[in-house]
Amino acid sequence: MVTLAWLVVLIVVVMTLAYHRAPLWLSTLAVAGYLAAVHLLSPPPIVIMGILWALFLAAAVLLNLAPLRRKLISNRVKTWFSRRSPHLSATERQALGAGTVWWDAELFSGRPRWKSLLRQPKPALSQAERAFLEGPTEELCRMLDEWRITETHRDLPPAVWNFLKEQGFMGLIIPTEYGGKGFSAYAHSQILVKVGSRSPTAGVTISVPNSLGPAELLLHHGTAEQREYYLPKLARGEEIPCFALTGPEAGSDAAAIPDYGVVCRGEHEGREIIGLRLNWDKRYITLAPVATLLGLAFKVYDPEQLLGGDYQRGISIALIPSTTPGVDIGHRHRPLEAAFMNGPTRGRNVFIPLDWVIGGEAGIGQGWQMLMNCLAAGRAISLPANACGTAQLATAVSGAYARIRRQFKRPISDFEGIQELLARMGGNTYMLDAARTLTTRAIDQGQKPAVLSAIVKYQLTERSRRILNDAMDIHAGKSICLGPNNYLARFFQSAPIPITVEGSNLLTRNMIIFGQGALRCHPFLLKEINAAGSTAPDAEKAFDRAFFGHIGLLASNKIRSVVLGVTDGRIVLTHGAPELRRHYQRLTRAAAAFAFVADMTLITQGAALKRRERLSARLGDALSALYLASAVLKRYENEGREQLDLPMVDWAVATLLYESQQALHETLRNFPNRPLGRLLRALVFPLGRRYQKPNDVLDRQVAELLTKPTASRDRLTSAMFRATDPDDPIARLEKTFTLLVSAAPIEQKLQAAERAGQLRFAPGIDPVQAALAAGIIDPGEAERLGEAIRMRQSVIMVDEFAASTPIKSLPGPV
């Protein structure tokens, strides 16, 4: 019995060492010390002790003597691993090499260091950035009327185009030495949120020159001459850029573009030079119809070896003036009737000099790497910012409208069905903006978070679309009747567009987030793959270190998954706000579970995981939920731990914990090796699945924050544009909302009088005047309530058009 107790204690010691990830040498010393103490204090039978010492010494020698370990274990594993690991193409290796890893690596480790996240500085604007946001950006928003833009102009009005150029909106990311604004990623994002909450057309138009376009590529990869020539012109809006990557035969598989350039001799500006003869066919190119400068991605071939080297030189990017002979800018596309400029471009036998390639001759073949490097950061800014602008607008107007609109003599915000939608909108909007600000702040600190940028692009555009769906349901008939007073419809029409660009959301979810994240963020996997495929002298040592590091990580996460699963994370020490303690603990538990399941999936599936898209998607969902929840906690800490916001924080974290749990559950339920899947489910969920969706009480608390003029509502929608023009439909909505809330006690007097039989309302009788005549309210109260009722009637009305009103069609060629 004593011997069994010693063995149990030994197991506990080993598990404790694994839980805390003690290094191998320390674990060896600890176990040796434990066995020695047992031998001296209460020695078990000599045979048992001898067996324990023999097993320990054999393992200690084998694992701690690296040459012996490599010879007997890791070199053999290396051979097996090289056959099982996924083959990486050149484009895949370039994508994996792009950008940096940051908090995503902490989540992949299974042991996120929350202190590191909490130490990250709060996002802040410089004086110049704040002045631009409060000055030209506000003025621009006042100039924008999305109904007129889409219905009348079918484009931004000329005055708006001129304003964008004159005020520097086209050069937000271009450094001041080239005439640009040189703004931070956070400021760039804040500007787009505000503009995007006012006009999808303007938001997209500003995004392109400041996103994956010639300016960003030139900044990071252009020659000095190219930067000096083009960047000032781009900053002033003298050149309008577009970037052409997608074509009819290359959408999600962008690396397979058929567009090509052949190295040859040709004539340029009256002299013969070596250049490129290009042929291309591109579509879906934003700003192409008005672009003066075309950024073009294509493959280069050198059949005559005029440049030396290989026949196939790879993907390259060139800057081509749209007036170049052979360049054809097609007619406009009509992306769901959105008014931003978008269309095809084609080129036939277009000859260009080599120095039009970004980076010059040295840039030939480097185009894919350039794109991946720029996407690693840029994908986290433009589309997520516009999504947040849409979400804040939809949430603000829906909370106000739900309080204004009445059915069954009550505001519809009193009904639980509406509260469910409002809670979902408020919680998701808080979540979206938290992820946006955290990611842009990381970029400003020098990070290029390739995996996190894919997460925020996918998650924010998808959740913004769901928020719009809920807003449409709350507004009901008002939201489906087009007209100047419909402030949602054009956003709703445009919602699917960002889902399809900069990597479609289907591709991003099913292949990129976990597919790239597993290799890029895992502490050891990419090192193992690189070492396994290498013949370098130190490859065996490199593989040995990575492999045994991986084994230690896997063992630790297995122990942590079980221990934290049993305790629901209660043993985890936390460092953030006390009221968030259980959130930090549960997210730590969820991270350990994710890391363990991810590792077991990678080990068992190997290269086959490329074909297991749904496994990859679910693991990507779990990782995404953990990142969004981390951002929610960081936002609450950054904003001074505002207690009023806690319902939204609790709602968001509860939702994300549930989503992460379900993603792991579905992964294991569909695990290719069913017995192993059941075993892993028992280890990850030792007491079953614990996390539930937010309950009705929490839904109601979040909804109430949106249907009253609270500080929490103001913080939630602080980045959107606030219209003040009394003729603006959203300004009228907000004024009516404020009036009705302030007049609520007066309405309650009337309702109480009616219930007491003091008032009887007959058809055609003004209830306010009847209450005034009965002395139930005074003249001031009657005036306030009467104005509120008149404003309410104005807000709920929809636009009417004569039956003969023609339906216009977009113009053809541009």
**If you average pLDDT over each of 99-108, 656-665, 752-761, which comes out highest?**
656-665
Q: Which of 39-43, 367-371, 415-419 has the lowest mean pLDDT?
A: 39-43
Residue 814 has pLDDT above 60, yes or no: no
Give per-residue burial for 663-687: e unless 16+ CB within 10 Å, then b.
bbbbbbeebeeeeebeebbebbbee
Q: CA torsion sign, 628 to 633 to 639 to 642?
A: positive
pLDDT at 810: 46
Q: What percent of the chain has pLDDT over 70?
A: 96
pLDDT at 813: 37
Confidence of residue 83 (pLDDT cuts 50, 70, 90): confident
pLDDT tens-place string over residues 327-372: 999 889 999 989 999 999 999 999 999 999 999 999 999 998 898 8
Q: Which amino acid is at 4?
A: L
Confidence of residue 250 (pLDDT cuts 50, 70, 90): confident
- Give the E-state strand segments of 172-292 in sequence order: 241-244, 260-268, 271-286
d(CA 223, CA 317): 13
d(CA 684, CA 589): 9
Q: CA torsion sign, 350 to 351 to 352 to 357?
A: positive
Task: Please tell me the number of Cα atoms within 13 Å of 52 on its side-chain side.
Answer: 21
pLDDT tens-place string over residues 551-582: 889 999 999 999 999 999 999 999 899 999 99
Non-local (6+) Cβ contacts of 802 within 8 A are none
* Mean per-residue pLDDT, 493-498: 94
pLDDT at 2: 52
Domains, in order of start, for the chain: 2-64 (no CATH), 127-213 (1.10.540.10), 241-371 (2.40.110.10), 729-796 (no CATH)
d(CA 195, CA 186): 14
Non-local (6+) Cβ contacts of 10 within 8 A are 31, 34, 35, 38
pLDDT at 103: 95
Q: Which of 172-186, 341-355, 608-622 has the lowest mean pLDDT?
A: 608-622
Q: Which of 156-160, 171-175, 656-660, 687-691 has the lowest mean pLDDT?
A: 687-691
pLDDT tens-place string over residues 136-149: 999 999 999 999 99
pLDDT at 199: 97
Give per-residue burial for 761-798: e unless 16+ CB within 10 Å, then b.
eeeeeebbebbbeeebbeeebbebbbbbbebbeebbee
d(CA 627, CA 104): 7
Look up residue 708 and give its two tokens.
């009253």
pLDDT at 398: 98
Q: Which amino acid is at 314?
A: G
pLDDT tens-place string over residues 697-706: 999 999 999 9
Residue 812 has pLDDT above 50, yes or no: no
DSSP 110: T
Q: What's the mean pLDDT when you consider all of the chain? A: 91
* Mean per-residue pLDDT, 618-643: 97
DSSP 553: H
- How many other CB atoms are found less than 10 A from the CB of residue 439? 30
* Mean per-residue pLDDT, 596-600: 94
* Mean per-residue pLDDT, 103-131: 95
Residue 661 has pLDDT above 90, yes or no: yes
Supply the Cα-derived Rg of the chain in whole angstroms. Answer: 31
d(CA 494, CA 642): 34
Q: Which of the following is catalytic: 216, 502, 704, 781?
A: 502
Residue 735 has pLDDT above 90, yes or no: yes
d(CA 612, CA 605): 9
pTM, two decimals, is 0.94
Task: Please tell me the number of Cα atoms within 13 Å of 465 on its side-chain side.
Answer: 15
Residue scoring higher pLDDT (77 or 38) = 77
Query: Is 747 in the active site?
Result: no
DSSP 247: B
d(CA 126, CA 128): 5
Cα 689 versus chain centre, distance: 27
* Mean per-residue pLDDT, 466-485: 96
Give per-residue burial for 572-599: e unless 16+ CB within 10 Å, then b.
bebebbeebbebbbbbbbbbbbbbbbbb
Q: Indicate the Cα dihedral angle 521, 525, 531, 533, nearest 10°.
A: -110
Q: Which amino acid is at 404?
A: I
pLDDT at 811: 45
* Mean per-residue pLDDT, 283-293: 95
Which of 778, 771, 710, 83 lies closest to 395 in space, CA to CA?
Answer: 710
pLDDT at 251: 80
Pairing of strands 241-244, 293-301: parallel
* Mean per-residue pLDDT, 200-225: 92
DSSP symbols for 286-316 = ETGGG-SEEEEEEEEE-TT-SS-S-SEEEEE
249, containing H or E segment: none
Q: Which of 250-254, 451-455, 594-598, 686-690 has the lowest mean pLDDT?
A: 250-254
pLDDT at 285: 94
Residue 95 has pLDDT above 60, yes or no: yes
Three-state DSSP state, 600: helix
393, containing H or E segment: helix 382-404
Non-local (6+) Cβ contacts of 163 within 8 A are 136, 139, 140, 143, 169
d(CA 590, CA 758): 60
Confidence of residue 61 (pLDDT cuts 50, 70, 90): confident
Q: What percent of the chain has pLDDT over 90?
A: 69
